[in-house]
Protein backbone atom coordinates (compact mmCIF):
# COMPACT_ATOMS: atom_id res chain seq x y z
CA UNK A 1 0.00 0.00 0.00
CA UNK A 2 1.23 3.43 -0.86
CA UNK A 3 1.87 5.58 2.20
CA UNK A 4 0.02 8.85 2.02
CA UNK A 5 1.58 12.03 3.30
CA UNK A 6 -0.47 13.16 6.27
CA UNK A 7 -0.85 16.63 4.75
CA UNK A 8 -2.81 15.05 1.89
CA UNK A 9 -5.64 14.12 4.23
CA UNK A 10 -6.47 17.78 4.73
CA UNK A 11 -8.71 19.84 2.47
CA UNK A 12 -6.31 21.58 0.06
CA UNK A 13 -7.15 25.07 1.28
CA UNK A 14 -6.48 24.04 4.89
CA UNK A 15 -3.21 22.32 4.00
CA UNK A 16 -1.97 25.52 2.32
CA UNK A 17 -2.82 27.77 5.28
CA UNK A 18 -0.34 29.23 7.73
CA UNK A 19 -3.03 29.60 10.40
CA UNK A 20 -3.70 32.53 12.70
CA UNK A 21 -0.72 33.42 14.88
CA UNK A 22 -1.80 35.10 18.14
CA UNK A 23 0.50 37.53 19.96
CA UNK A 24 3.03 36.02 22.35
CA UNK A 25 1.59 34.87 25.69
CA UNK A 26 4.63 34.21 27.91
CA UNK A 27 3.43 32.22 30.92
CA UNK A 28 6.20 33.32 33.31
CA UNK A 29 4.62 36.67 34.26
CA UNK A 30 7.94 38.50 34.00
CA UNK A 31 7.00 40.82 31.16
CA UNK A 32 5.19 44.12 30.95
CA UNK A 33 2.67 42.87 28.40
CA UNK A 34 1.71 45.55 25.92
CA UNK A 35 1.27 43.22 22.94
CA UNK A 36 -2.25 41.75 22.91
CA UNK A 37 -4.54 44.58 23.99
CA UNK A 38 -5.58 43.05 27.27
CA UNK A 39 -6.90 45.37 29.98
CA UNK A 40 -4.21 46.18 32.59
CA UNK A 41 -6.81 46.53 35.36
CA UNK A 42 -8.59 43.77 37.26
CA UNK A 43 -12.17 42.87 36.36
CA UNK A 44 -14.98 43.90 38.72
CA UNK A 45 -14.79 42.19 42.15
CA UNK A 46 -18.42 41.23 41.44
CA UNK A 47 -17.17 38.97 38.66
CA UNK A 48 -14.95 37.05 41.07
CA UNK A 49 -17.84 36.73 43.56
CA UNK A 50 -20.25 35.56 40.83
CA UNK A 51 -17.75 32.93 39.67
CA UNK A 52 -17.30 31.59 43.20
CA UNK A 53 -21.08 31.41 43.57
CA UNK A 54 -21.27 29.34 40.42
CA UNK A 55 -18.73 26.70 41.42
CA UNK A 56 -20.75 23.87 42.91
CA UNK A 57 -22.33 20.57 41.92
CA UNK A 58 -24.34 22.26 39.12
CA UNK A 59 -21.18 21.98 37.03
CA UNK A 60 -22.43 18.50 36.06
CA UNK A 61 -25.33 20.13 34.18
CA UNK A 62 -25.13 21.67 30.72
CA UNK A 63 -25.49 25.44 30.64
CA UNK A 64 -28.49 27.22 29.09
CA UNK A 65 -28.07 26.54 25.33
CA UNK A 66 -29.46 29.95 24.36
CA UNK A 67 -27.75 31.96 27.16
CA UNK A 68 -30.98 33.66 28.23
CA UNK A 69 -29.64 35.58 31.24
CA UNK A 70 -26.60 36.94 29.39
CA UNK A 71 -28.66 38.06 26.39
CA UNK A 72 -31.15 39.77 28.71
CA UNK A 73 -28.37 41.61 30.51
CA UNK A 74 -26.71 42.67 27.24
CA UNK A 75 -30.07 43.92 25.94
CA UNK A 76 -30.65 45.90 29.14
CA UNK A 77 -27.21 47.53 29.16
CA UNK A 78 -27.10 48.31 25.44
CA UNK A 79 -30.73 49.34 24.97
CA UNK A 80 -31.85 46.54 22.67
CA UNK A 81 -33.95 43.34 22.85
CA UNK A 82 -32.66 39.86 23.80
CA UNK A 83 -33.87 38.48 20.45
CA UNK A 84 -31.44 40.86 18.76
CA UNK A 85 -28.49 39.49 20.76
CA UNK A 86 -26.42 36.35 20.36
CA UNK A 87 -23.52 35.46 22.65
CA UNK A 88 -20.42 33.46 21.86
CA UNK A 89 -17.22 31.96 23.23
CA UNK A 90 -15.47 35.28 22.61
CA UNK A 91 -16.28 37.35 19.54
CA UNK A 92 -13.90 35.09 17.61
CA UNK A 93 -16.54 32.35 18.00
CA UNK A 94 -19.15 34.70 16.50
CA UNK A 95 -16.83 35.51 13.58
CA UNK A 96 -16.58 31.76 12.89
CA UNK A 97 -20.38 31.41 13.11
CA UNK A 98 -20.79 34.32 10.69
CA UNK A 99 -18.45 32.79 8.11
CA UNK A 100 -20.17 29.41 8.38
CA UNK A 101 -23.64 31.02 8.17
CA UNK A 102 -23.17 33.28 5.17
CA UNK A 103 -20.17 32.17 3.10
CA UNK A 104 -19.99 29.20 0.71
CA UNK A 105 -16.89 28.02 -1.17
CA UNK A 106 -15.75 30.66 -3.69
CA UNK A 107 -18.06 33.34 -2.26
CA UNK A 108 -16.49 36.76 -1.89
CA UNK A 109 -15.29 37.84 1.55
CA UNK A 110 -14.22 41.49 1.65
CA UNK A 111 -12.06 43.25 4.22
CA UNK A 112 -9.65 46.17 4.24
CA UNK A 113 -5.89 45.90 4.72
CA UNK A 114 -4.27 46.06 7.20
CA UNK A 115 -6.78 44.83 9.75
CA UNK A 116 -7.54 42.03 12.23
CA UNK A 117 -5.75 38.95 10.88
CA UNK A 118 -8.46 36.44 11.78
CA UNK A 119 -10.74 37.47 8.88
CA UNK A 120 -8.15 36.08 6.49
CA UNK A 121 -7.80 32.80 8.40
CA UNK A 122 -11.57 32.30 8.48
CA UNK A 123 -11.93 33.04 4.75
CA UNK A 124 -9.16 30.54 4.00
CA UNK A 125 -10.77 27.80 6.10
CA UNK A 126 -14.06 28.35 4.27
CA UNK A 127 -12.30 28.35 0.87
CA UNK A 128 -13.81 31.73 0.08
CA UNK A 129 -12.54 34.23 -2.47
CA UNK A 130 -10.82 37.04 -0.59
CA UNK A 131 -11.16 40.63 -1.78
CA UNK A 132 -8.59 42.61 0.17
CA UNK A 133 -8.98 46.37 -0.19
CA UNK A 134 -6.10 48.65 0.86
CA UNK A 135 -6.99 51.29 3.40
CA UNK A 136 -6.12 54.81 2.22
CA UNK A 137 -2.89 56.30 3.62
CA UNK A 138 -4.83 57.96 6.46
CA UNK A 139 -6.80 54.76 7.17
CA UNK A 140 -10.02 56.05 5.68
CA UNK A 141 -11.93 53.58 3.46
CA UNK A 142 -11.81 53.82 -0.32
CA UNK A 143 -15.01 53.25 -2.36
CA UNK A 144 -13.52 49.95 -3.57
CA UNK A 145 -14.76 48.44 -0.32
CA UNK A 146 -18.14 48.15 -2.11
CA UNK A 147 -17.54 44.86 -3.93
CA UNK A 148 -20.29 43.59 -6.18
CA UNK A 149 -21.66 40.24 -5.05
CA UNK A 150 -19.80 40.25 -1.71
CA UNK A 151 -21.21 37.64 0.69
CA UNK A 152 -19.65 39.21 3.81
CA UNK A 153 -17.69 42.44 4.33
CA UNK A 154 -15.73 42.74 7.58
CA UNK A 155 -14.92 46.15 9.01
CA UNK A 156 -13.04 46.35 12.26
CA UNK A 157 -14.03 49.73 13.74
CA UNK A 158 -12.08 51.21 15.43
CA UNK A 159 -9.48 49.27 13.44
CA UNK A 160 -6.67 47.10 14.71
CA UNK A 161 -3.71 47.52 14.39
CA UNK A 162 -4.09 51.18 13.34
CA UNK A 163 -6.41 52.28 16.18
CA UNK A 164 -8.19 54.60 13.74
CA UNK A 165 -11.95 55.00 13.31
CA UNK A 166 -14.29 55.21 10.32
CA UNK A 167 -17.17 57.64 11.06
CA UNK A 168 -20.48 55.92 11.84
CA UNK A 169 -22.25 57.82 8.99
CA UNK A 170 -19.74 56.33 6.53
CA UNK A 171 -20.41 52.80 7.84
CA UNK A 172 -24.15 53.43 7.47
CA UNK A 173 -23.64 54.59 3.89
CA UNK A 174 -21.61 51.45 3.10
CA UNK A 175 -24.21 49.19 4.77
CA UNK A 176 -26.91 50.77 2.61
CA UNK A 177 -25.01 50.25 -0.64
CA UNK A 178 -23.25 46.96 -0.12
CA UNK A 179 -24.21 43.48 -1.35
CA UNK A 180 -24.45 40.92 1.43
CA UNK A 181 -23.73 41.07 5.14
CA UNK A 182 -21.63 43.79 6.75
CA UNK A 183 -19.94 42.92 10.03
CA UNK A 184 -18.71 45.81 12.15
CA UNK A 185 -16.26 44.32 14.63
CA UNK A 186 -16.41 46.73 17.56
CA UNK A 187 -13.97 44.98 19.90
CA UNK A 188 -12.61 48.44 20.88
CA UNK A 189 -15.78 50.56 20.69
CA UNK A 190 -15.89 51.19 24.44
CA UNK A 191 -12.70 53.23 24.08
CA UNK A 192 -14.13 55.27 21.18
CA UNK A 193 -16.29 58.38 20.93
CA UNK A 194 -19.00 56.68 18.88
CA UNK A 195 -20.25 53.26 17.76
CA UNK A 196 -22.59 51.57 15.28
CA UNK A 197 -25.17 49.95 17.58
CA UNK A 198 -27.84 52.46 16.57
CA UNK A 199 -27.48 51.38 12.92
CA UNK A 200 -28.88 47.91 13.61
CA UNK A 201 -32.46 49.27 13.45
CA UNK A 202 -31.90 50.72 10.02
CA UNK A 203 -29.86 48.01 8.25
CA UNK A 204 -31.19 44.43 7.95
CA UNK A 205 -27.75 43.27 6.70
CA UNK A 206 -25.67 44.67 9.59
CA UNK A 207 -24.09 42.70 12.46
CA UNK A 208 -22.26 44.54 15.24
CA UNK A 209 -19.78 42.49 17.30
CA UNK A 210 -18.63 43.29 20.82
CA UNK A 211 -16.42 41.53 23.33
CA UNK A 212 -15.87 41.63 27.09
CA UNK A 213 -12.19 40.73 26.55
CA UNK A 214 -10.83 44.26 26.35
CA UNK A 215 -12.97 46.92 28.01
CA UNK A 216 -14.35 44.57 30.72
CA UNK A 217 -10.97 42.91 31.51
CA UNK A 218 -12.29 39.40 30.73
CA UNK A 219 -10.03 38.07 27.96
CA UNK A 220 -9.53 34.91 30.01
CA UNK A 221 -13.27 34.21 30.30
CA UNK A 222 -14.15 34.29 26.57
CA UNK A 223 -17.38 36.18 26.04
CA UNK A 224 -18.47 38.15 23.00
CA UNK A 225 -21.83 39.10 21.56
CA UNK A 226 -23.46 40.03 18.28
CA UNK A 227 -26.27 42.55 17.85
CA UNK A 228 -28.38 42.33 14.69
CA UNK A 229 -32.00 42.13 13.59
CA UNK A 230 -33.90 39.07 14.79
CA UNK A 231 -33.91 37.21 11.46
CA UNK A 232 -30.09 37.22 11.29
CA UNK A 233 -29.73 36.19 14.93
CA UNK A 234 -32.21 33.30 14.51
CA UNK A 235 -30.33 31.99 11.49
CA UNK A 236 -26.93 32.23 13.18
CA UNK A 237 -28.26 30.39 16.24
CA UNK A 238 -28.69 27.31 14.01
CA UNK A 239 -24.98 27.30 13.21
CA UNK A 240 -23.46 27.66 16.69
CA UNK A 241 -22.25 24.83 18.93
CA UNK A 242 -25.14 23.71 21.15
CA UNK A 243 -23.48 24.96 24.35
CA UNK A 244 -21.10 27.62 23.08
CA UNK A 245 -21.10 29.69 26.30
CA UNK A 246 -20.29 27.86 29.50
CA UNK A 247 -21.84 28.46 32.91
CA UNK A 248 -18.85 30.36 34.30
CA UNK A 249 -18.48 32.69 31.30
CA UNK A 250 -22.20 33.49 31.41
CA UNK A 251 -22.14 34.27 35.14
CA UNK A 252 -19.05 36.45 34.82
CA UNK A 253 -20.54 38.35 31.89
CA UNK A 254 -23.74 39.19 33.75
CA UNK A 255 -21.75 40.34 36.79
CA UNK A 256 -19.32 42.41 34.70
CA UNK A 257 -22.11 44.14 32.79
CA UNK A 258 -23.93 44.79 36.04
CA UNK A 259 -20.98 46.75 37.40
CA UNK A 260 -20.93 49.69 35.00
CA UNK A 261 -19.12 51.78 37.62
CA UNK A 262 -15.93 49.66 37.57
CA UNK A 263 -16.14 49.42 33.78
CA UNK A 264 -16.41 53.19 33.33
CA UNK A 265 -13.56 53.86 35.76
CA UNK A 266 -11.20 51.48 33.97
CA UNK A 267 -12.08 52.74 30.49
CA UNK A 268 -11.62 56.32 31.58
CA UNK A 269 -8.21 55.57 33.16
CA UNK A 270 -7.12 53.86 29.95
CA UNK A 271 -8.25 56.66 27.62
CA UNK A 272 -6.48 59.22 29.86
CA UNK A 273 -3.27 57.20 29.76
CA UNK A 274 -3.68 56.86 25.98
CA UNK A 275 -3.71 60.64 25.55
CA UNK A 276 -0.62 61.02 27.75
CA UNK A 277 1.22 58.23 25.93
CA UNK A 278 0.30 59.76 22.57
CA UNK A 279 1.84 63.14 23.43
CA UNK A 280 4.95 61.60 25.00
CA UNK A 281 5.56 59.35 21.97
CA UNK A 282 5.09 62.35 19.67
CA UNK A 283 7.67 64.26 21.73
CA UNK A 284 10.07 61.32 21.28
CA UNK A 285 9.69 61.84 17.53
CA UNK A 286 7.33 59.01 16.55
CA UNK A 287 4.29 59.49 14.37
CA UNK A 288 1.30 58.27 16.38
CA UNK A 289 -1.88 57.33 14.54
CA UNK A 290 -4.96 58.90 16.19
CA UNK A 291 -6.35 56.12 18.40
CA UNK A 292 -9.91 55.38 19.51
CA UNK A 293 -8.82 52.12 21.19
CA UNK A 294 -6.81 50.75 24.13
CA UNK A 295 -3.61 50.77 22.06
CA UNK A 296 -1.66 53.09 19.81
CA UNK A 297 0.20 52.38 16.60
CA UNK A 298 3.42 54.29 16.02
CA UNK A 299 5.50 54.73 12.92
CA UNK A 300 9.28 54.58 13.33
CA UNK A 301 12.00 55.85 11.01
CA UNK A 302 12.36 52.59 9.05
CA UNK A 303 11.97 48.83 9.42
CA UNK A 304 15.49 48.43 10.85
CA UNK A 305 14.79 50.88 13.67
CA UNK A 306 11.40 49.23 14.29
CA UNK A 307 12.91 45.76 14.66
CA UNK A 308 15.66 47.10 16.93
CA UNK A 309 13.18 48.86 19.19
CA UNK A 310 10.99 45.74 19.38
CA UNK A 311 13.97 43.50 20.26
CA UNK A 312 15.55 45.89 22.74
CA UNK A 313 12.23 46.40 24.53
CA UNK A 314 11.84 42.63 24.75
CA UNK A 315 15.34 42.29 26.25
CA UNK A 316 14.16 44.77 28.86
CA UNK A 317 11.08 42.64 29.53
CA UNK A 318 8.57 44.82 27.70
CA UNK A 319 6.51 43.16 24.97
CA UNK A 320 4.89 45.21 22.22
CA UNK A 321 3.44 43.94 18.93
CA UNK A 322 5.63 43.96 15.83
CA UNK A 323 3.47 42.76 12.97
CA UNK A 324 6.10 43.10 10.27
CA UNK A 325 3.72 42.72 7.32
CA UNK A 326 3.63 44.94 4.24
CA UNK A 327 2.90 48.55 5.18
CA UNK A 328 3.45 47.73 8.87
CA UNK A 329 7.15 46.90 8.84
CA UNK A 330 7.97 50.33 10.28
CA UNK A 331 5.13 50.24 12.80
CA UNK A 332 4.68 48.97 16.36
CA UNK A 333 1.40 48.48 18.18
CA UNK A 334 1.50 49.30 21.88
CA UNK A 335 -1.30 48.36 24.29
CA UNK A 336 -2.19 50.95 26.93
CA UNK A 337 -0.96 49.58 30.25
CA UNK A 338 -1.15 51.05 33.74
CA UNK A 339 0.42 54.47 34.23
CA UNK A 340 3.40 52.84 35.91
CA UNK A 341 3.91 50.41 33.01
CA UNK A 342 3.67 53.24 30.50
CA UNK A 343 6.22 55.30 32.49
CA UNK A 344 8.64 52.35 32.32
CA UNK A 345 8.00 51.95 28.59
CA UNK A 346 8.67 55.64 27.90
CA UNK A 347 11.86 55.62 29.97
CA UNK A 348 13.19 52.52 28.18
CA UNK A 349 12.18 53.88 24.76
CA UNK A 350 14.08 57.11 25.34
CA UNK A 351 17.10 55.09 26.45
CA UNK A 352 16.90 52.77 23.42
CA UNK A 353 16.78 55.82 21.14
CA UNK A 354 20.07 56.99 22.67
CA UNK A 355 21.65 53.55 22.21
CA UNK A 356 20.58 53.48 18.55
CA UNK A 357 21.87 57.01 18.00
CA UNK A 358 25.30 56.06 19.40
CA UNK A 359 25.38 52.88 17.29
CA UNK A 360 24.88 54.92 14.14
CA UNK A 361 27.48 57.59 14.83
C1 LIG B 1 -9.62 41.05 20.51
C2 LIG B 1 -10.38 41.08 19.24
C3 LIG B 1 -11.36 40.14 18.95
C4 LIG B 1 -11.52 38.89 19.77
O5 LIG B 1 -12.24 39.07 20.86
P6 LIG B 1 -12.55 37.81 21.78
O7 LIG B 1 -13.90 38.17 22.29
O8 LIG B 1 -11.50 37.77 22.81
O9 LIG B 1 -12.61 36.58 20.92
C10 LIG B 1 -12.12 40.28 17.81
N11 LIG B 1 -11.87 41.28 16.95
C12 LIG B 1 -10.91 42.18 17.17
C13 LIG B 1 -10.66 43.24 16.20
C14 LIG B 1 -10.12 42.09 18.32
O15 LIG B 1 -9.13 42.95 18.51
Distance CA(307)–CA(300), nearest Å, equals 10
pLDDT at 361 over 80: no
Ligand 1 in reach of 92 Cβ (< 6 A): yes
Distance CA(299)–CA(56), nearest Å, equals 50
Domain boundaries, the chain: 12-41+261-360, 45-259
Predicted structure pTM score = 0.96
Residue of minimum CA distance from atom 1 in ligand 1: 187
Residue of minimum CA distance from atom 5 in ligand 1: 91
The Å distance, Cα 274 to ligand 1 centre, comes to 19
Kindly state the DSSP code that residue 191 receives in the 8-state scheme: G
C-alpha distances in Å from residue 235, one per residue of 92, 97, 115, 238, 248: 18, 10, 27, 6, 26
Rounded CA Rg of the chain: 21
Ligand 1 in reach of 224 Cβ (< 6 A): yes
CATH class of 45-259: alpha beta
Ligand 1 in reach of 157 Cβ (< 6 A): no
For 32-56, the pLDDT digits (tens) are: 999 999 999 999 999 999 999 999 9
Topology, domain 12-41+261-360: 3.90.1150
Ligand 1 pocket test, candidate residues 96, 211, 245, 291, most atoms within 8 A of CB? 211
45-259 shares the fold of 12-41+261-360: no
Query: For a pLDDT cut of 90, what percent of the chain falls above it?
Result: 93
For 58-101, the pLDDT digits (tens) are: 999 999 999 999 999 999 999 999 999 999 999 999 999 999 99
Ligand 1 in reach of 335 Cβ (< 6 A): no
pLDDT at 287 over 90: yes
Q: Which residues contact 81 (CB under 8 A, 6 or more apart)?
A: 75, 230
- What average pLDDT does the segment 127-152 reach? 98
Instruction: Give the relative orientation of helices 339-360 and 260-283 as an angle to the nearest 10 degrees.
Output: 20
Q: How sure is the predictor about 2, in pLDDT bands with cuts at 50, 70 and 90? A: confident
CA angle 229, 116, 135 (to 5 degrees): 95
What is the β-pairing status of strands 129-134 and 181-185?
A: unpaired
Amino acid sequence: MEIKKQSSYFRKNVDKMTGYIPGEQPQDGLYIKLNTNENPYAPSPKVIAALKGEIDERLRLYPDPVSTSTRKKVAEVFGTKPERVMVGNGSDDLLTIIIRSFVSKDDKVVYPYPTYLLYKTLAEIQNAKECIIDFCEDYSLPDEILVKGAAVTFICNPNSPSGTMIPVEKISEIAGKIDGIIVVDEAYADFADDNCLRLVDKHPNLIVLRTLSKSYSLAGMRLGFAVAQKELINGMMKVKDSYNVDRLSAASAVAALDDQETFRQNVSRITKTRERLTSSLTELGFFVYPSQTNFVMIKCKDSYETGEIYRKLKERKILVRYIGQPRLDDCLRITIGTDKEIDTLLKELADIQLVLLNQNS
